[in-house]
């Protein structure tokens, strides 16, 4: 049965943040809040945990995971970022955007798009998510907490607990954080292509 931590949305308790990260490092799957919606997260190197997230969401091997990063220095470690791309990233992070960029060799092949060798990265503007990432000191491999058959992500921590108490190791209750997934933008040499409209302002990437 999943553990359930009520973490303060603006002043996260360090003890609970550390315990949550210990669960991730031990191979656990967590449900945690972001600036767009709740997400499922696990350790970047844990194939078994990644497969558990796939089973929860009932998605196949083509499902794209996102690396949720603390800041742009982590983004540059996992993606090839041109100067023009960096300017766009700097202007729009942190925030509710997922950026699709060419993956570096640091990214496990199973996380890359199978044909295009790209990876989704984001830097959330959310206190709890940032506290988890700071304690972990590396990105969280993540997927929007959208259940099969639902048309919106889960946003109520109590409902997440009820529906996933036997599927995840921890539910981080940070309160309601929204129903919209991120806006997804593909970046290449400073050119932005909008691929999904979500919570973020798409006008920033359209001419």
Tens digit of each residue's pLDDT (9 = 90 or more) over 58-103: 987 777 789 999 999 888 888 999 998 999 999 999 999 999 999 8
Q: What is the 3-state secondary structure (H, E, C) of the chain?
A: CCEEEECCCCCCCHHHHHHHHHHHHCCCCEEEECCCCEEEEEECCCHHHHHHHHHHHCCCCCCCCEEECCCHHHHHHHECCCHHHHHHHHHHCCCCEEEEEEECCCCCHHHCCCCCCEEEEECCCCHHHHHHHHHHCCCEEEEECCCCCCCCCCCCHHHHHHHHCCCCCEEEECCCCCCCCCEEEEEECCEEEEEECCCCCHHHHCC
In the block, residue with structure tokens 């109590």: 158
pLDDT computed for residue 149 by the predictor: 87
Question: Of 141 and 205, which is predicted with more confidence?
Answer: 141
Q: Is pLDDT at 178 greater than 90 in this prediction?
A: no
Q: How confident is the model at residue 113 (pLDDT cuts 50, 70, 90)?
A: low
Q: Please state, as a whole number, how many other Cβ atoms lie within 10 Å of the Cβ of residue 130.
A: 19
- The backbone region for 171, taken as left when phi is positive above 0, alpha when psi lies in -120 to 50, beta otherwise, is beta
Q: Are 154 and 174 in contact (CB under 8 A)?
A: no
Mean pLDDT confidence for 187-194: 85
- Cβ pair 42, 24 in contact under 8 A: yes
**CA 5 vs CA 58, 171, 181, 186: distances in Å:** 26, 6, 23, 35
Q: Is the pLDDT of residue 198 over 60?
A: yes
d(CA 74, CA 69): 6
How confident is the model at residue 112, as a pLDDT? Answer: 60
CB atoms within 10 A of CB 201: 13
Summarised one tens digit per residue, pLDDT across range 8-42 is 999 999 999 999 999 999 999 999 999 999 999 99
Report the domain count for the chain.
1
Question: Which of these, 113, 9, 130, 118, lies nearest to 69 by C-alpha position?
Answer: 130
Tokens of 196: 């999904």
* pLDDT grade for 207, boundaries at 50, 70 and 90: low
Neighbours of 82 (CB within 10 A): 15
Domain, as residue range, for 136: 3-205
Residue with structure tokens 């990437």? 205
CATH number at residue 80: 3.90.870.10
């Amino acid at each position: 049965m999943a553990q359930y931590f009520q973490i303060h949305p603006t002043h996260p308790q360090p003890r609970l943040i550390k315990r949550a990260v210990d669960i991730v490092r031990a191979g656990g799957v967590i449900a945690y809040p972001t600036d767009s919606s709740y997400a499922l997260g696990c350790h970047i190197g844990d194939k078994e945990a990644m497969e558990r997230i796939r089973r929860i969401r009932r998605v196949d091997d083509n499902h794209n995971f996102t690396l949720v990063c603390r800041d742009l220095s982590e983004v540059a470690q996992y993606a090839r970022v041109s100067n023009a791309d960096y300017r766009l990233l700097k202007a729009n992070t942190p925030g509710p955007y997922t950026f699709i960029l060419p993956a570096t060799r640091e990214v496990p092949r199973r996380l890359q798009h199978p044909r295009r060798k790209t990876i989704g990265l984001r830097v959330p503007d959310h206190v709890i998510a940032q506290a988890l990432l700071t304690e972990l000191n590396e990105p969280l491999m993540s997927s929007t907490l959208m259940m099969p058959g639902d048309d919106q992500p889960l946003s109520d921590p109590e409902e997440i607990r009820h529906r996933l108490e036997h599927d995840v190791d921890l539910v981080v209750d940070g309160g309601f954080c929204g129903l919209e997934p991120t806006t997804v933008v593909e970046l290449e040499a400073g050119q932005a292509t909008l691929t999904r409209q979500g919570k973020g302002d798409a006008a920033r990437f359209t001419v």
